[in-house]
Amino acid sequence: MLLLAILLALAGLPWVAPAMRSDHLAKLRQETVDMFYHGYSSYMLHAFPEDELRPVSCQPLTRNPKKPADIGLNDVLGNYSLTLIDSLSTLAILAGGPADEKYTGSQALSDFQDGVAEFVLHYGDGRHGPSGQGLRSRGFDLDSKVQVFETVIRGVGGLLSAHLFAVGELPIRGYKPKPDSNVESDDPLETAPITWPGGFRYDGQLLRLALDLSERLLPAFYTKTGIPYPRVNLRSGIPFYVNSPLHQNPEDTEPIVGNAEITETCSAGAGSLTLEFTVLSRLSGDPRFEQVAKRAFWEVWERRSDIGLIGNGIDAERGVWIGPHSGIGAGMDSFFEYALKSHILLSGQETPNMTRSQRQSTTSWLDPNALHPPLSSEMHSSDAFLEAWHQAHASVKRYIYTDRNHFPYYSNNHRATGQPYTMWIDSLGAFYPGLLALAGEIDEAVEANLVYTALWTRYGAIPERWSVRETNVEPGIAWWPGRPEFIESTYHIYRATADPWYLRVGEMVLHDIKRRCWVACGWAGLENVLSGEKQDRMESFFLGETTKYLYLLFDPEHPLNNFDAAYVFTTEGHPLIIPRKARGSATPRKRASRTAQQSNKDVTVYNYYDSKFTNSCPAPRKPLEPLAGSNTAAKRNLFDVSRFTNLYNTPNYHGPLETVSIKDEEEGLITQHRATSNHSVFPWTLPPTMLPHNGTCPAPVNRILSWIEFPSQDASASLFSRSGSSSSSTQLLWYQNVGPTVEQVDGLKLQLEQEHNEVAGEDVWIISHVAGKTVNRHENVMFYADHVRHFRDDAFSVLRRKDIVDVVLLIEPDPTPLTSRELPRTSVPLPITGSLDDTTSIDAAPAENASSTRRTAVRASGEPPAADADSLFQSILRAVSSALEGSATTSTPSPRPPPFRDSVSGDHTADEEDDDQHRGVSIYSWLANTASGAGAFPLPSVQDALLHSSPGFSAADPSASFPWRRVYMAGLACDGPLPDDAPRRHQVIVMQRGGCSFGDKLDNIPSFAPGDDGSLQLVVVVDEGGDAHDAPRPLLATEQRTPRGTPRVHGIPMVLMPGAKGTYELFRQASAVGLRRKYVVKSQGYMIENAIVL
């Protein structure tokens, strides 16, 4: 009992408590409030009503009219008191904090209300009459050329969020607005007045001003693509975009030619408007904004590459990508964010009212939607945005997520191929872990956030760009302007995990900002995180986001943290919600397949559900060690992050210091302090008691690399291979979603890396580079069998499998359209789990060695078809699709519609089919399992049948490589002996599975002389509807016998072939049958896991 009492007492001590103590949390919360007010008060004193504050010089920061190209200022600053707008929602959140703390509660609420009143005083109340004129302007009637994206997320979003707080739709503890019950209005822009202390009556002024500002942005949406121009003048519109339909008469056919203006926008800028504009439309009853924003989102998404990646720059007029790279950082970041958050915001809502509003606005009536067909109900639905998020996340995880040879991070890769493009991390990408947490991808979120946490620990901020290759800050791009993305993610992950480790991360960020960024008139961004040089600018988002997320992190009981509603934070950190009054009746939702739809009152509702993806958020996990209290601190790979960011070589100035004397040429002997140790754990605020008592990190894995260079007949080819350069263009044919196909092996150079295959329980090789090109983790390297099957070198040995084989069928043109038949599926082996013998064959494990069946058909004709490359791609794609799926560790994104049509998919018309029939024959291929047991016999030695993709294939004579022409259809073959001429005059007997055992089927085949090539060579048992994943090797437990019961002297080879309904009947139409052997590749005794022999 005494020991228990001691343990309980120790558990309450601050250095043992698993969670942060409430008094310490309150201290951090108050420090955050003080941080905000130091910046806000300085802005209001030294800079208001201008846009931003120069905290070093204590002066306002305004637009730069003398230098229009200074988009760093002019895109953002619009001469409308930007920092005040961005700060209002933070003030409202502080107003919901504990009232006993300094500046929170009633004090912050009063400042929020004073801020609203001050803004209305300077910009009017948004009406047409005299009250609409403010001291500074009438609404946003300003001669300011601004960026559409920045104006929406900061200006429109800030006004809408403050309005929702003002009317009580977003919670403020203790604030219960009481609208004047004597005032009634059907106009959603004229809300019943709410009287605040001091006499100000709030009646929707911010909503009306948000509408005024948004209407001034509408000209930018006058494009033929639906993608908005990047900039607009708040007073004059877009006179500088001379090719816009806004400036052309309907009769004009030629675009107007004028001075060039940049029409390049970015995915984030065009696709991240849906939250603000949807809320505005629902609050105002004006559908224009929601429609233009959603159209812009879908137009960008529709242009994603065939592997599902969006790019950065995109031309608003032509709708084409500018530049090749893709990633999660600058230019692309918030597109992903708004895909998921639009789903959240719209969840449970009906399709919006599509009727045009007739309300007269402060500008001429503009509706860019008139240029385009109306959006479908699907594009308005919550589930459509969820599907877009799932697909986008899957593509990012497959192509951008990089975890080979180092701790995982998100790289910048080629949009079309997924190939590595640049090796750096930018600070804007720090938002992504928080988005993953919102999506329920907790493990990935925690892992991703560790990199940014280590970088912050190393530099005391996150540099704008950090080089993975150099493990240091990119030269000339070392600033941190007070960005919120890292603390935003930390906040969201803490809310999802309740892990106190993230409170310590927030504490680190708070202390580092106070130490490095404080100046007398506010908070300065860092021009260089290495030197500590300060910028003379306090960006509006520092008060609007950074301090907001810090405060919410330290206030777990805040009303917004416990608000049970579909609200979201915009990419500028402004909370938004569609109020109940603006929602309409919710649509009953039934989970269905991704293609299912249901009808509700003549409105088609899109329902999406895909079990492959994360569809719910997990509950926080209990700590593995309750006394430590943190699962993140207990992760065994923490030191891997430290090595990746080079943190472990960085002196820890927050730890013990020693005094040293250094001789200076000018000052003589000076005293300095030096860290006695480097960083080992992070954040630097983490108390040792939060680490597990037996915490260990695994030793770094030693990379085992190997290189293979194929002999070259041409010395120049070998030289190119060594340099990893131009020869790759002639050696490789790279297919998206699949990987490279080696066109020629002469002089080819491979780099292999050894990994451990957890499934097989053995080490394997992975081809990481081929001909100087990086092979992504999900990609395979394809070799043609005719090129490599003769290799028996220890460095590269191609071994034939005994357990499986491809059965290949050739069918002449048939007058019956293929679209009227149910067609078979092809199948491909999963990765090998069996053993190899010392010859050229493999004994594989039984059932597990077959994979799902896929259909394939390759057209042949007298001349190569026009879409030859496309047909080749289809053949290769289907030849490795199952192997790709078998080795995939994440959900695979749905492929984009291919630039070719599937010649047997049934999606084309009879006329198209007739045209195909005149051109040539069809070739089908299925995976089949060979027999095992005492009655099994080896397959006949025949040449591999050539597919369209095979070297040496003759379109003029496609059957030349097929050994067998005569097929006997035997049905179940269970009712007695077959006719005597069945094995004597036919080379292949096809049976249906079932009715009797495999052995009984073979015993019903009469005796025959096997020496004649015209006699029986192979028995194919077709299992229609069989699942290739579970298909066994057919067991022949006893020796084969003839119908008379005598042992069969010459056994008959048999294979079991799973297929779809209709597969058996296809053999009746066969003009030729053949086989294709299956191979694996080994090097130095280890399997090369991602090498596939076609």
Q: How far apart are CA 148 and CA 992, in angstroms?
A: 66
- The annotation status of 417 as a binding-site residue, yes or no, is no
Of 851, 847, 856, 804, the closest CA to residue 825 belongs to 856
- SS3 string, 840-907, reads CCEECCCHHHCCCEECCCEEEECCCCCCHHHHHHHHHHHHHHHHHHHHCCCCCCCCCCCCCCCCCCCC
Q: Residue 414 corresponds to which tokens in the numbers above? A: 């080629």
Check if the beta carbon of residue 288 is closer than 8 Å to that of residue 236. Answer: no
- 616-645 b/e with 16+ CB inside 10 Å = b? eeeeeeebebeebbbbbbbbeebbbbbbbb
DSSP secondary structure, 325-350, as one string: EE-SSTTTHHHHHHHHHHHHHHTT-P
The secondary structure of residue 908, as a DSSP letter, is: S
Q: How far apart are CA 925 and CA 895, in angstroms?
A: 23
Q: How far apart are CA 632 and CA 624, in angstroms?
A: 10
- SS3 string, 345-366, reads HHCCCCCCCCCCCCCCCCCCCC
The DSSP H or E segment spanning 968 is strand 967-971
Q: How far apart are CA 606 and CA 408, in angstroms?
A: 36
Instruction: Provide the residue type at 349 as one letter.
Output: Q
SS3 988: strand
Sign of the alpha-carbon torsion through 331, 333, 336, 338: negative
Q: 49: cis peptide before it, omega within 30°? A: yes
Residue 1084 CB-density burial (10 A; 0-12 exposed, 13-18 middle, 19+ buried):
middle
User: What's the gap between Cα 296 and its chain centre?
Assistant: 19
The set of residues, in sequence order, having a beta carbon less than 8 Å from that of 14 and lying 6+ positions away, is: 21, 24
Residue 804 CB-density burial (10 A; 0-12 exposed, 13-18 middle, 19+ buried):
buried
Check if the beta carbon of residue 18 is closer than 8 Å to that of residue 620. Answer: no
Q: Residue 364 corresponds to which tokens in the numbers above? A: 């001429």
DSSP secondary structure, 242-270, as one string: TTSGGGS-TT--SPPP-S----EEEHHHH
Q: How far apart are CA 241 and CA 263, in angstroms?
A: 8
Q: How far apart are CA 563 and CA 172, in angstroms?
A: 11
Check if the beta carbon of residue 636 is closer than 8 Å to that of residue 627. Answer: no
The secondary structure of residue 82, as a DSSP letter, is: H
Check if the beta carbon of residue 923 is closer than 8 Å to that of residue 1066. Answer: no
Of 431, 529, 517, 536, the closest CA to residue 474 belongs to 529
Which residues are part of the catalytic machinery?
Answer: 150, 333, 464, 485
Q: Token match 């970015």: residue?
A: 266
The DSSP H or E segment spanning 765 is strand 762-770
Beta bridge partners of residue 921, listed in sequence order: 860
In 258-324, the DSSP E strands lie at 264-266, 313-315, 321-322
Of 1008, 805, 820, the closest CA to residue 906 belongs to 820
Of 914, 975, 920, 923, the closest CA to residue 950 belongs to 923
| Binding residue numbers for Ca(2+) | 571
